[in-house]
A = this chain, B = another copy of it.
Amino acid sequence: MEYLTDRQKVILMLVIHDYVRNAVPVGSDHLVRHYHLDFSPATVRNEMAALTDMGYLRQPHTSAGRVPSEEGYRYFVGRLQEDVDLPDSTRQTISHQFYQTRHDIDQWGRLAASVLAHQSKAASLVTAPLSETVRFKHLELIATHGRQVLMVLVLGGGDVHQRVFALGEPVNQEQLSNVANRLTKMLSANDLDGVRRLAGAQPAGLEQDVLGWVIAIMERSSTPGFGAFYSDGLSNVLAEPEFASPEETRRALRVLEERSLLEELMTHTFANHPNGVQVLIGGEGNWEELKPFSVVLSQYGAPGLATGMLGVLGPMRMAYGRTISAVRFLSALLSDMLSETLGDDAMR
């Protein structure tokens, strides 16, 4: 990386600031006038030319102003990352909102997505926390209709799963309850391996069938990308001028609707950088579809117990400062709430 003089840094920051605000290429005149710089447009032009040579700025065409390049954004974000924080009043408002839904776990994800979308004015993504070690907690079997059985399985950490299946022969509710109680007692607090081991020792029959389902669910629920997925603020992104044209709109929508790409991105990112807020600018060369986007991501949760991810996807021309601080703040907030709720005991 090449060195920038202080003045070049100032100019780079201002160009980014202005471009993020107005979505219009920034010219030397405009910059000097608008920010009361104490050097002349010509000087700015020279510096801009230098910044362009170094790859931090781009020119859409010969006679337009400058626009930050991916490199430019990266430099900016690198400098910036440490010292931004959400205003106190905002933090309090958000904390308050979460305080009000503190009892209702199911709402946390939605609220986080909503807050994040609102703060960043971009699209937000939140995955529900996933327990890292799955433990059996409670089993319920409900006779419904003929040989149909509804199974409700509660796992440690409060994951709840439902399945429907049919038995070989009709069984009444009383028998089912007996089986459920016996299995609950037997399996209680076991992890997947434990359940497998105990299942091996059981004779074939109703118990064995149910155990098969329990194991299947416990296997699936520990694979990442399985849990709930909240998203909000798509319209924020599509409202940005860079997605005005129909093809751009389509491209953007494909990315936003296609959950799998984002999951891959998240998993991949955190495999390499598990901690802190990650900023991916323009897909970082790896994701062609994300070229016009930037993504700000963070993990949250209690490491070793349960973790989820949350983040923001927006145009590369994004208010990074605000977004990064929002992601960091929410990640910390959710982590606190989660570890308060799912203390160590809950996982056993």
Q: Which residues of A contact B (CB under 8 A)?
A: 102-106, 137-138, 140, 142-146, 148, 150, 152, 154, 158, 160-165, 173, 213, 232, 234-235, 238-239, 244, 246, 249-250, 253-254, 257, 339-346
Residues of B within 8 A of A340 (CB): 145-146, 148
Contact with A250, one of B104, B105, B160, B235 (Cβ below 8 angstroms): B235
Among A140, A144, A161, A341, the one with the most B-chain Cβ atoms within 10 Å of its Cβ is: A144
Residues of B within 8 A of A103 (CB): 163-165, 213
Residue of B nearest to A213 (CB): B103
21 contacts between A and B (CB under 8 A): A103-B164, A104-B163, A105-B150, A105-B162, A105-B163, A106-B161, A142-B158, A143-B346, A144-B343, A144-B345, A145-B340, A145-B341, A146-B340, A146-B343, A150-B158, A152-B154, A158-B162, A234-B253, A235-B250, A238-B238, A238-B253
| A341 with B164, Cβ < 8 A, contacts A140-B154, A150-B158, A346-B150 known | yes
CA distance A345 to B172 in the complex (A): 10
CA distance A151 to B7 in the complex (A): 59
Residue of B nearest to A162 (CB): B105
Residue of B nearest to A104 (CB): B163
Contact with A145, one of B138, B140, B244, B339 (Cβ below 8 angstroms): B339
B342 near A145 with CB under 8 A, answer yes
CA distance A146 to B235 in the complex (A): 42
Contact with A162, one of B106, B152, B257 (Cβ below 8 angstroms): B106
> This chain: how many copies in the complex?
2
CA distance A232 to B161 in the complex (A): 23
CA distance A142 to B157 in the complex (A): 9
10 closest Cβ pairs, A-B complex: A145-B343, A144-B346, A235-B253, A160-B160, A144-B343, A244-B246, A105-B162, A103-B163, A164-B341, A150-B158
B145 near A346 with CB under 8 A, answer yes
Residues of B within 8 A of A143 (CB): 345-346
CA distance A173 to B162 in the complex (A): 24
B341 near A102 with CB under 8 A, answer no
| A102 with B164, Cβ < 8 A, contacts A140-B138, A345-B144 known | yes
Among A105, A164, A254, the one with the most B-chain Cβ atoms within 10 Å of its Cβ is: A164
CA distance A238 to B257 in the complex (A): 12
CA distance A68 to B68 in the complex (A): 48
A257 near B235 with CB under 8 A, answer yes
* A6 smallest CB distance to B (angstroms): 40
* A98 smallest CB distance to B (angstroms): 12
CA distance A162 to B161 in the complex (A): 12
Residues of B within 8 A of A253 (CB): 234-235, 238-239
CA distance A232 to B148 in the complex (A): 30
Residue of B nearest to A346 (CB): B144
CA distance A148 to B173 in the complex (A): 33
Among A106, A143, A345, the one with the most B-chain Cβ atoms within 10 Å of its Cβ is: A345
A343 near B142 with CB under 8 A, answer no
* A47 smallest CB distance to B (angstroms): 35
Residues of B within 8 A of A342 (CB): 144-145, 150
B152 near A142 with CB under 8 A, answer no
Residue of B nearest to A339 (CB): B145
* A344 smallest CB distance to B (angstroms): 7
